[in-house]
Amino acid sequence: MIAVEGYEGERVGVLGLGRSGLSAARALKAGGAVPVLWDDNPDARARAGAEGFEIRDLGREGALADVTILVVSPGIPHLYPAPNAVVAAAWAAGVPVDNDIGLFFRALGQGAWDALDTPPRVVAVTGSNGKSTTSALIHHVLTSAGRPSQLAGNIGRGVLDIEPPGEAGVVVLELSSYQTDLARALTPDVAVFTNLSADHLDRHGGLGGYFAAKRRLFAEGGPDRAVIGVDEAEGRYLANQLSTAPADDRVIRVSSGTKLTGPGWQVFARKGFLTEWRKGRQVGAIDLRAVRGLPGAHNHQNACAAYAAARALGLGPRQIEAAFHSFEGLPHRSQIVAEAGGVTYVNDSKATNVDSALKALLAFDRVRWICGGLMKDGGLSGLAPGLAHVAKAYVIGREAAGFALELPGIEAEICTTMAQAVARAAEEARPGETVLLAPAAASFDQYDNFERRGEDFTARVRAALG
């Protein structure tokens, strides 16, 4: 645990008692603060109370009168579509609002780490798609190279639950827009922006607000190195804003599909080959086609971003390449769960929006596609470039019929349940085809989260294959 100092003897409000809220409360208590906790869920309050924490309804009048700062969990809206009532009360009372990410960076700056010969470094990864895989891949590369590394944030452990990093240690953080939007301190050594596509628009008041939340990671703390995906206009804008000259190698531009040129530092993938250019010459290359854990152009973009971050931390191209080959991928993200009769079964349940599902479709030549769920705003028209890869769609979810109507030009069978979809896809699949779960929709109409959906798919596949 990382103790959060600076609030000794002061009451600190903690709103939301999920993983991040409870870990923040423990870290504050370890640093000498007196946390006062609230969650609308009585079970969550009971669990926190069992640990000896003070429980207080922070929404009642006067509850924040003796509170120095309010720490808010990422799932709680603080601005759009409407501020949570407790957050609004904190504003009115002049109580600063922060989150566990802000506390982490504050704690890291106040610790004794500056006395180390090689102080710890932080790599923070954000973006719409691929940030989990990119973060895990950076962590895997560092660990494989013998560098002490911890993975936390929106993946793995809560950021304040990790061990204090030691000599030459690296903390790799995956950060969602919910986390970057509110943190009062954001000071990574290396910051990574993978890409941007429409998501969480209600939470950020539109695409501009969503991008602004991501941009804070780069604008607030001024990282030593910024790795920027430039396949969208927002990434190109961000890279331009951070660069002071064409040869400024504090910015590493990355792309999947576009050859990048110029005197600066670039990493790009084309036709399955990753290439690193610096100061106008090639300095590294990797054949990604044989890297089993990173299939498809979208994973090649993740590989470019992870490669660039590792290079910024001083690792060599051959070290990185060796680690790539031992990376097995993450559950629910282009995860191969079975192979039988020449058919490959892939769980990409994390493909909850159109952009990520499109990238999954484009990664395979002939797909038996299991899709559907709770559709997000904007419809499914963005999937059009990938539909030529679809042999047939098997649509699940309560809105399966309406979802299928959004898929013109391909055969679609209304299955509703995962059990029926997997059974039908497995029955009809032919050698060389891929049965792919890439829903292009949220899971909440049938599952608690995308993980449960992916686990159901995996279990149904194994049952179907006997």
Task: Judge whether 70 and 87 are in contact, CB under 8 Å.
Answer: yes
Number of Cβ atoms within 10 Å of the Cβ of 32: 14
The residues, any chain, with a CB within 8 Å of residue 251's CB and separated by 6 or more, are: 225, 226, 228, 239, 242, 243, 264, 265
Sheet of 11-15, strands arranged across: 54-55, 34-38, 11-15, 67-72, 97-98
Range list of H helices, 326-376: 354-362
Q: Which parts are annotated binding residues? A: 127-133
**Pick from 277, 285, 280: nearest CA to 303:** 285
**Pick from 180, 164, 161: nearest CA to 221:** 180
Backbone torsions φ then ψ of 423, nearest 5 degrees: -60, -45
Q: Which parts are annotated binding residues for ATP? A: 127-133
**Pick from 444, 445, 438, 441: nearest CA to 421:** 438
330: helix, strand or coil: strand
* CA-angle at 267, arms to 262 and 273, nearest 5°: 120
Task: Judge whether 45 and 55 are in contact, CB under 8 Å.
Answer: yes
Element (H, E) at 28: helix 19-30
CA dihedral 381, 353, 193, 122 (to 10 degrees): 180
Task: Judge whether 90 and 157 are in contact, CB under 8 Å.
Answer: no
Q: How many CA atoms lie within 13 A of 392 on its CB side?
A: 16
For 29-51, give the DSSP string.
HHTT-EEEEE-S-HHHHHHHHHT
**Pick from 282, 226, 281: nearest CA to 254:** 226
User: For residue 262, is it left (φ>0), alpha (ψ between -120 and 50) or beta?
Assistant: left
- The amino acid sitting at 48 is A
Range list of H helices, 60-130: 85-93, 100-110
